[in-house]
Each structure stands twice: as structure tokens, then as C-alpha cells.
Amino acid sequence: MSDAFAFRVGLGHDTHRLVAGKPLLLGGVRIEYPLGLDGHSDADVLLHAVTDALLGAAGLGDIGELFPDTDPQYQGADSARFLHEALARVKQAGWQPVNLDCTIHAQRPKLSAYKSQIKQHLADLLQIPADAVNVKAKTGERVGPVGREEAMCADAVVLIHRIPIL
């Protein structure tokens, strides 16, 4: 394969409603907050977005194809499981993550105190250095479902490179 195709970029996005009675997990880190995200799995919007970005970069479909919300085995599942499986498939296809840039969209809670922990956990999950991960948090400026504190969203961009054949 030519060097012109040695890198690929993937984009991921996810949105979940906020509800009472569920824990709030972002990037695999538990956030103290009275509301959590609703979904078939643990509804970690950030891990879902990163999983989709990783799969997309390698041309391996999306999270809904691999882990459908109609499959009972994924009820309440830890979203790190999805990212772990996606990473294994990406590596099996001959690719390795280079870096991750991601954004969490949440009116509340303020996430600055959690960003370094989320960053390190994402780096560990992707098996890349922490300085290759960037985590941003944005409010909804009181506009739309995020601004009204009805939902949270996350976006992720992942760069992967071809693993050299030895």
C-alpha cells in the first residue's frame, strides 16, 4: 500500500437523553451528578463517539452494526467493552490509533475537574500516550436539548495509521 494511504481519519458522534436514577459516565469515568444518560448500554456518549470514530476511520462500520441496541447481551453493558472490541478489529485490519480529539457537549455539570481523568482513561483504552488525547467540554449555551439539560452529546475525531508489516 502506498504511503499516500497510510493514514485515515474517523469521525464519531453520539447523543443520549439525561434521566434521573442512572449514573453519569463520560469516557468511562463516573461523574457526580443527579442525572445520568439513558440508553441500552451504560449510554456513555463519549465512548460511543470514540468507538464510532475508530470504526469509521478503518472502514469497519459503526457501533450500531456491531453492538445493536436490540441485542439483550448489550443491556447495561460497559461501553469500554465496545471500544475494546472496536480497537481489536481495527488492529486486526492493520491499523493503529495515533491520536484522539473529542468534545463533550453538556450544559451541566461542569467537567473541567474530570477532564484529565477522562483523558487518561481514553489513552489507556486506546493504548496511546495521554498527550495524544485531547478532551474538550462545551455547554449548549442554553440552546436546544443540551442547553435545556435534556441531553448530552459527544463528538470524536480519531487519526489512525497503517501498522508497518515487518
Contact 99, 127 (CB under 8 A): no
The per-residue pLDDT for 1 is 46
Average pLDDT of the segment spanning 76-82: 94
Over range 150-154, report the average pLDDT.
98
pLDDT at 4: 59
Do the beta carbons of residue 46 and residue 56 sit within 8 Å? no
Of the pLDDT bands very low, low, confident and very high (cuts 50, 70, 90), residue 3 is low
- Global pTM value: 0.95
Which residue has 439513558 as its cell numbers?
38
DSSP collapsed to 3 states, the chain = CCHHHCEEEEEEEEEEEEEECCCEEECCEEECCCEEECCCCCCCHHHHHHHHHHHHHCCCCCHHHHCCCCCHHHCCCCHHHHHHHHHHHHHHCCEEEEEEEEEEECCCCCCCCCHHHHHHHHHHHHCCCHHHEEEEEECCCCCHHHHCCCEEEEEEEEEEEECCCC
- Asked whether residue 74 carries a pLDDT value surpassing 90, the answer given is no
- Which triple of cell numbers denotes residue 72? 439483550
pLDDT for 75 equals 86
- Quick one: pLDDT at residue 166? 67
The per-residue pLDDT for range 109-148, each reduced to its tens digit, is: 999 999 999 999 999 999 999 999 999 999 999 999 999 9
Q: What is the mean pLDDT of residues 57-69?
A: 94
So what's the pLDDT on residue 46? 98
Q: What is the rounded average pLDDT for all residues in the chain? A: 95
